[in-house]
Each structure stands twice: as C-alpha cells, then as structure tokens.
A = this chain, B = another copy of it.
Amino acid sequence: MTSATAESLDEETSTIADRVFGQVRQAIVEGQIPAGSKLSEPALAARYGISRGPLREAMRRLESTNLVERRPNLGARVITLSNDELLEIYVIREALEGMAARIAAERMSDAAISDLKGLLEQHRREVARADWQTYFQEEGDLDFHFRIVQGSGNRRLIDILCNDLYHLARMYRCQFGMKSDRAADALKEHELVADAIAERDGELAEWLMRRHIRASRRAIERRLAVER
C-alpha cells in the first residue's frame, strides 16, 4: 500500500516540518482526519510532539498542495470534497496524462515497457480471480498511471500529477468506498494504452489515455447522479 507515491519512503528526513508534512498528508488522504474538519495548530503540534513553527510550515505546504484551505486569522480546514472539484481533477488528468502517454510512447525505455506489461499481466490475474479485491485493483490503477507519467520523463509533469492530483484522487477513493464496477473495462483500456506505447504510437496512446480517463470520469458522474 501507498506504493505509488513519490517520495513515500522519506522517513528520517532531516527536517521535522517535512516529516510531519508527510504524516499529516497521509492522515488526511486516508481519512483519519475527516474532511472539512478544523486543523488546530496547538492540537496538531501536541499530537505530533513538535512546536508550532515547523507545523505551520507543514501547513503551508499542505495548503499549496490543495489539501487544506487557510484563511487568515481563521485557521486551516481540511478541504471539503465537492463533486465538481473531483470532476475538475479528472479533466486535468485527461489533459496531462494524455500528454504523458504521448511522450512516454516516444521516450520510454524498452525495459520500462516490459515492466509495464508485466504489471498489467499481474493485474489481469488479480481481476480474474478476485472480484472482492477491487481495492487492490484500484491501487494498481494508480500504479499503472504512475508508471506512464514517470515514463514521460517530464519532471514538472511528474510533480504535478504525483505530488498533487494523485493524493487528491486517493483521498476521494478513501472517502467514499469507490466500489468500481469498471475494473475489467479499465484493465482492458490500460492494455490498449500499453500496446500503443509499445508500438511507439504517441498519437494513439494519447487518444486512448484520454478516452480512458474520460470513461472513468463518466462512471463517476453516473454514480454521483444515482446517489443524489
């Protein structure tokens, strides 16, 4: 778990602010700190056994990753997950990951492509035998997207997606159960993207990736419409 997060193994980072930043982020993403709840500086400082100085710096970093909202003299709150913002994120992912797939098709190493296909092979086995383990399938979904983005080699692209949007996506997924009835379809779409990349067809890879993310967004839209 938490396998696909950039800089996830940053234990023993020299500065306290960075460490508590990662801890609070994880707590927010996984729902231990509920969405919309107020983040009291003294309380958090006491909870993590640090002073308010480093904690404020961590809060600033959390603010810039759009996980918390701050208003002057009023304090910080965990962001409230609105449905519109979730859909907005998928729009951005469609644009960014589509471009990532295009570049990955041009620049990804053969070895990385082999690894990618191996990952999909493993996912196929998991999906075939386990319908109740959609959780791992969902984590695997992020793993797949993570590798494509890495394959683009565009550092800023990697940064935006892996350090901001993927944490948001994981937060939404932990919040609502996100029982995906789309696991089989998504896997099929992943394989199509991987094939296009293996054939070095950047244009097709981008088109397929965008269609894949669009389909995911539509599935969410349908589910939100039903729940309403």
Contacts and interface: CB of A to CB of B under 8 A. Distances in A.
A112 interface: no
B157 A66 contact: no
- Grouping DSSP codes into helix (H, G, I), strand (E, B) and loop, the A interface class, with mixed when no group exceeds half, is helix
A12 to B, nearest CB: 11
Contact of A72 (B18, B91, B96, B159): B18
Interface stretch (A29-37, A52-60, A180-188, A220-228): A52-60
A169 to B, nearest CB: 12
Given A60-B60, A65-B64, A91 B157 contact: yes
A216 to B, nearest CB: 16
Interface string A14-35: 1101100000000000000000
Given A61-B64, A64-B64, A99 B89 contact: no
Contacts of A18: 72
10 A-B pairs closest in CB distance: A64-B64, A95-B99, A14-B72, A60-B60, A95-B95, A15-B72, A88-B154, A57-B60, A88-B156, A95-B96
